[in-house]
Amino acid sequence: MPRKIIPFTKPECPGIFCEACTSVLEEAAKDGVKTYVQRMENRAIEPCLFGQGGTCCRNCSMGPCMMIDNVPESIGICGATPATVAARNFVRMVAAGAAAHMDHGRETAFTFLAAAKGESPYEIKDEKKLHFIADLYKVKTEGRSKEDIAVELGQKVLAEFGQQEGALVMTSRAPAKRQALWKKLGVIPRGVDREVVEIMHRTHMGTDQDYKNLIFQGTRCALADGWGASMIATELQDVLFGTPVPLRTVVNLGCLSEDHVNIVVHGHEPQVPEAMAIVAQEPEIVAAAKKVGAQGINLAGVCCSGAEALMRRGIPIAGGFVQQEVVLATGAVEAMVVDVQCIMQGLSDVAQSYHTELITTSPRAKIPGATHLEFDHHHALENARELTLRAIGRFKERKKTHIPDRKMDVVAGFSHETINHMLGGTFRASYRPLNDNIINGRIRGVGAVVGCDSCRVESGKVHTTVVKELIANSVLVLVTGCAATACGREGLLRPEAAELAGPGLREVCETVGMPPVLHMGSCVDNSRILIAAAEIVKEGGLGDDISQIPGAGCAPEWMSEKAISIGQYCVTSGFYVVFGRTFPTTGSKEVTDYLFKDIEQEYGGKWAVEEDATKMAQMMIQAIDKKREALGIQQKKERVLFDMAMRREL
Ligand code: BF8
Ligand code: SF4
């Protein structure tokens, strides 16, 4: 168990592993544009080990108190130990990460309710899912209009945010055994917001000082994210904007257009991208674009806004988190429209180096130097038109551009429903074939590779190395968020990538015509992975709980607090989860031992950290094999190391 504090061996910027991006960054640097590259190179102070290992407390003004494990003189003025502080900081990360998804879920519920009441231009697209979710929430569906059902459902969902007692409805979708375990341990979330508030209270100076009790509440809050707010966001967005089905599109900077007005949507919630996609087609808007000499509007995405628009509308993704400034440094973007989360403040300066207008749209996220145009879903299309016209107005100011001729085909849109149909057939959707292929060993197991990309690593390469290693060993890979975009850039989201898969997985992919790496959406869509796991259990033959499935998860380049919340709900749902490079409790051996070892006895899942991508994949494969052995389905198989020749093949 790595108790070690991981040193930053690469103080210089490791950069992004993508030629297209590097060439743009180099050009931009020559023009004096400052991006994360310069900010990293010129930083006066490198990250300190107290902060990195979670043992710096600034929860009261007698501190900050920096602590070293096993050095009695270095505990807090109040007596707080490294374990208490590391656990407090850890669960505060859970609270912040979960809160981001919760506020997203709340906004979705408000939008859903307004649409149901006819107060917004959005319409209910997936009636089948509406009925399914309504049944879960005990909303009567017989003989009622879809709007009528949706109003009652929207109200019930919204009420869960302020609910004080009971259990969140979506947790009832977990396998019965998992629910019973959660109940026994007392971690079933009682309401959405309550769990975050309680973390903030417990971590206030002089409150909860028992690291296990703190992590207990962290778990309850994380579950309110995964099996609560994130699942609410995913499902209501599907009902409103359509459940994704497989579609082809492209990713990378080459999706920007020389002769169109380029508008980039960035952030997380799908409301703005949806409205922008609708108005981009309107004849008056196209005419306005033509009037300034453009061919029309080219919409592209960044981060999870991009993933949402890609999954449902096939809108291309220009880049992931690390690429956001690079996208603007092409000089080809008229407007970048952002809402919430993962938006670098540095964008403001980069935009000002070009003709680009950076526009914030959420009252919850303003940026100095950006234009603020509040987006109100009640007036979604009018607002989207205004945003688009502003972008059109900038087109003539465009100067030198540098759009690399690099884009990659991807197939995305793998909701859990799609996987069900794809593998089970149109007439009898079922996870049976997937389970059978896992049991007969063609598919060794399922690996979820999710989360951010980070400026601290060779961004993109870490993800794709893990993924290539997994598929070469016949592990079917599910991806979301920026990890999915990185895989897209490397061609791993194409059915042709099956060539890189081990023989069993390759056979399955070729029969079905699917890629070995399935893009399941944005970060709130990690809830799709939870549902898929619950369905695999329900189908039978692979144990009766998620912790028994031959599966594992990882976030190789994680950086955000959301990733910690996601990791914690995955671990306590029964998954083995490996994070890359650094882990925020390593300053306390006690807390890290608990999260990396002892927690498994309670929840059947545990955390790990590993910097090396190949090792990370091998750790996941080992965990998968262990589960196969426990189920009695393990055949003798050698672990394949993904060699250079295979790497060159793509
Ligand atoms: O929610 S993967 S960098 S964009 S946090 Fe952010 Fe991480 Fe990207 Fe989306 Ni998720
Ligand atoms: Fe220091 Fe305790 Fe205050 Fe934290 S709460 S800053 S450990 S005195």
For 289-317, how does the pLDDT look when each residue is reduced to its tens digit (9 = 90+)?
Answer: 999 999 999 999 999 999 999 999 999 99
The ligand that comes nearest to the alpha carbon of residue 60 is: 2
The ligand 1 atom at the shortest distance from the C-alpha of residue 563 is 5
Q: How far is the CA of 152 from the centre of ligand 1 (A)?
A: 32
The ligand 1 atom at the shortest distance from the C-alpha of residue 483 is 2
Q: How far is the CA of 268 from the centre of ligand 1 (A)?
A: 8
Band (7; pLDDT cuts 50, 70, 90): very low
Q: Is 207 in the pocket of ligand 2 (CB under 6 A)?
A: no
What's the pLDDT score for residue 46?
87
DSSP one-letter string for 409-426? EEEE---HHHHHHHHH-S
CA 529 to chain centre: 11
pLDDT per position as a tens digit, 586-596 = 999 999 999 99
Q: How far is the CA of 85 from the centre of ligand 2 (A)?
A: 9
Task: Give the HSE-up count for residue 611: Cα atoms under 13 Å, Cβ half-sphere.
Answer: 13
User: Crossing angle of helices 481-489/303-313, nearest 10°?
Assistant: 70
Residue 171, pLDDT > 90, answer yes
Residue 90, pLDDT > 60, answer yes
What's the pLDDT score for residue 428?
67
Q: Is the Cα torsion angle 217, 222, 225, 226 positive or negative in sign?
A: negative
Structure tokens at 329: 């440094």
What's the pLDDT score for residue 647?
53
Residue 608, pLDDT > 80, answer yes
- Of the chain, the end-to-end C-alpha distance in Å amounts to 35
Which residue, by CA, sits nearest to atom 4 of ligand 1?
303
Q: How far is the CA of 452 from the centre of ligand 2 (A)?
A: 31
What's the pLDDT score for residue 43?
87
What's the pLDDT score for residue 9?
37
pTM higher than 0.85: yes
Q: How much is the average pLDDT of 367-387?
A: 98
The ligand 2 atom at the shortest distance from the C-alpha of residue 85 is 7
Q: How far is the CA of 319 from the centre of ligand 1 (A)?
A: 12
The ligand that comes nearest to the alpha carbon of residue 96 is: 1
Q: How far is the CA of 66 from the centre of ligand 2 (A)?
A: 9
Q: How much is the average pLDDT of 355-377?
A: 98
What's the pLDDT score for residue 649?
56
Q: Which residues line ligand 1 (CB under 6 A)?
A: 268, 303-304, 320-321, 342, 451-452, 481-482, 522-523, 560, 562
Residue 641, pLDDT > 70, answer no
- Residues 6 or more apart whose CB falls under 8 angstroms from that of 1 comprise 592, 593, 596, 597
Which residue, by CA, sits nearest to atom 6 of ligand 2?
63
The ligand 2 atom at the shortest distance from the C-alpha of residue 206 is 5
What's the pLDDT score for residue 429?
76
Q: How much is the average pLDDT of 625-634?
A: 96
Band (420; pLDDT cuts 50, 70, 90): confident
Band (430; pLDDT cuts 50, 70, 90): confident
The ligand that comes nearest to the alpha carbon of residue 319 is: 1
Please state whether beta strands 56-57 and 65-66 pair in parallel, antiparallel, or not at all (unpaired): antiparallel
Residue 426, pLDDT > 60, answer no
The ligand 1 atom at the shortest distance from the C-alpha of residue 321 is 3
Band (35; pLDDT cuts 50, 70, 90): very high
Q: Is 204 in the pocket of ligand 2 (CB under 6 A)?
A: no
Q: How far is the CA of 103 from the centre of ligand 2 (A)?
A: 30
- What 3-state DSSP class applies to 580? strand
Band (44; pLDDT cuts 50, 70, 90): confident
Alpha carbons 470 and 502: distance in angstroms, whole number: 9
pLDDT per position as a tens digit, 483-505 = 999 999 999 999 999 999 999 99
What's the pLDDT score for residue 3?
37
What percentage of the chain carries pLDDT values higher than 90?
90
Band (637; pLDDT cuts 50, 70, 90): low
What's the pLDDT score for residue 289?
98
Residue 524, pLDDT > 70, answer yes
pLDDT per position as a tens digit, 108-118 = 999 999 999 99
Q: Is 82 in the pocket of ligand 2 (CB under 6 A)?
A: no
Specify the DSSP element, H or E, that contains 93.
Answer: helix 82-116
The overall average pLDDT reported for the chain is 94
Alpha carbons 518 and 540: distance in angstroms, whole number: 22
Q: Is 80 in the pocket of ligand 2 (CB under 6 A)?
A: yes
pLDDT per position as a tens digit, 436-480 = 999 999 999 999 999 999 999 988 899 999 999 999 999 999 999
Q: How much is the average pLDDT of 339-352?
A: 98
Residue 648, pLDDT > 60, answer no
